[in-house]
Structure 1
Amino acid sequence: MTSSTSSSRSRNPSSGIRSTPDRSAFSPSFSSYTASTASRLGRNPVKVAARSIAGAFVACFTPPETDDSNNLKVSNEFGAPFADSETSRMRGPNRGIYSNSTKERAPGSMKFTIEEIFKATRNFSPAFKIGQGGFGTVYKGKLDDGTLVAIKRAKKSVYDKHLGVEFQSEVTTLAQVEHLNLVRFYGYLEHGDERVVVVEYVPNGTLREHLDGVNGKELDFASRLDIAIDVAHAITYLHMYTDHPIIHRDIKSSNILLTEKLRAKVTDFGFARLAADTDSGATHVSTQVKGTAGYLDPEYLRTYQLTEKSDVYSFGVLLVELVTGRRPIETKREIKERITPKWAMKKFTDGDAISTLDPRLELTAGINLALEKILELALQCLAPRSRVGLV
């Protein structure tokens, strides 16, 4: 686990080619495939997950290796393949999840017409509405080629400059990134007072909905481990493998969408910012505080200085959510339990990690082992000064 200083060195072209980890059958990520294999072998799949999760997170929390002579090398520790940045640019079914951020299509092809948007949503039919938030309303849509998309329509408020900034930020950021664990960007619309962002439709709701048990949706412990690893990969990509490091600034359970196979995809880039240019000696970005209560990095809130580690703090809160099932702030609980991360870390450091486990989950030896590892990592992510970096 390294600081952002070392990660900036690995970005320096003179230090060699960036290696991009690829998740494959040999990578340490725990998946449903791993679970089924473990079951056939008579092994507890959660215990297998507990033993592998440390390796999976270490892979995310370690800066990429550099190597000038090899395009492909194998990590002796984890047995996971590492492909260089040229290899990662190749498009096709065998691309790694850390693909290069440059898309191979003309920028103009990402711009939709108002007629296309009206057709996709049947004139923004209420029947197509699937969500609503501070930015505006989200509709399910269908493009001419049959692709299902989520269409985010901004509020029509000429007085709200902040929404305009968020729209530009989201479009600019999404146009730069492409990753298995980020929602795919299809395009946008600017027409009169209409501001629309078109992204991949992810059918299975948000992580928060699953943790709340909405419509009977509940997550077993192994699935929660998978989701944590997916989000760690997404953040690592944003911080390390884009042309310039990107800070999401709003990592939270309601901004994580789940596929039908419970793979996680991070969404909502309205608050995203480019990180400081460490090559020029900058250590942070001074900016107005943006984010969501309960997930905001206290150091960022206190100093107005934004770094990649603010995302790491939010990830630590997310780990606590996954373990406990609770929201970061629980106003109806007694005072000592209202701030969930603070309560959970106190229990963990007091040697009572078991009491933090979501009561809907059955405690087993495997879950107990994984629980300790996840809370230990969460403690490091939440630390004010010695906070680990995801890169």
Structure 2
Amino acid sequence: MYSDRVLSGMRPTGRLHLGHYHGVLKNWLHLQNEYQCLFFVADWHALTTHYDTPQVIEDNVRDMVIDWLAAGVDPAQTTLFVQSRVIEHAELHLLLSMMTPLGWLERVPTYKDQQEKLSEKDLSTYGFLGYPLLQSADILIYRANRVPVGADQVPHIEFTREICRRFNHLYGREPGFEDKARAAVKKLGSKKARLYEECRTAYQEKGDDEALESAKALLNDAQNLSMNDRERLFGYLEGSGKMILVEPEALLTEASKMPGLDGQKMSKSYNNTIALREDPEVITKKIRTMPTDPARVRRTDPGNPANCPVWQFHLVYSDDTTRQWATAGCTSAGIGCLECKQPVIDAVLAELAPIRARAAYYEDNPDQVRNILADGCERAQELARDTMRDVREAMGLTFG
């Protein structure tokens, strides 16, 4: 098994806004300090719905990655790469498609939902039907065991787990597996080998889950095992063959609490966003002109914060004291709406100032962005090649 490895990606939609920052990027900043992380630009996924307008993708990639870096994603701690630059994604997608039942793809909840939402596009394409499998290939190619997703994306992770199990069941038993596994046990050293065997027996004969976890921890800590031997011992432990692909788990993330300027979800399609690199003057104007409680027609009319989009911003940006001040001032008409908006304006500008400064550096140094992605693609490809070597061998694709 591998130490915890996290994979996450975003479609290249261009410059990012506060909804992306609070919904995804802040979580990435936390994860990069906890795990080995790979974050990628899902440009092939963009083609599943925008195959007819590919010309916008390249500029969108550059803009999005600058926003990642500006938000604090650290290329020294994480691997940042572009999906289409690691061709092994496509190879694994192709090979997985050979054993994926068509009904599994048609049952993915988002398949019909997206077709209905994007009814103006012809999405009766092979690529759109197969995009959940491409997502699975993205995860499985890196043997990532943790994938940060919102609750609505959990079915995609379950789908990937099913694909992984099916693949390992079909191809996981390598020739001479048990002999190789027993030889690998000896490499643990006598004390650890005895403990491993005790845990394996307790799990296989009595279903002792604690013993299973103890054995997994032992293998994760074993420094002298090769990658293949470690995988063999995980398979041997659970009574299966070598685990070629690793089942991922959903790392549930909270939904973004960042509303749009009109109280709806912040989205470019609603034209209600604040971009991470927006000019301070534009941000100030956008917030100052936000709609408020319709009951406050005049300055002297009392209002209700629950009916005001600005209050949703206070929930994200203000401390308890400021919220109490805003609530008291609104319900008593003691303050006007512009006064209520000022602490929000100050907090948003303070949050975005360092992001805008870092973005300016990368805008002035485009070669550095290209180099970061080139290095990341190289690191990602090394991991992907290791997986594909095992996949090809398991599937008998090593002739000659």
TM (norm. structure 1) is 0.23
Higher helix share: 2
Larger RCO of the pair (alpha carbons < 8 Å, separation 6+): 2
TM (norm. structure 2) is 0.23
Higher strand share: 1
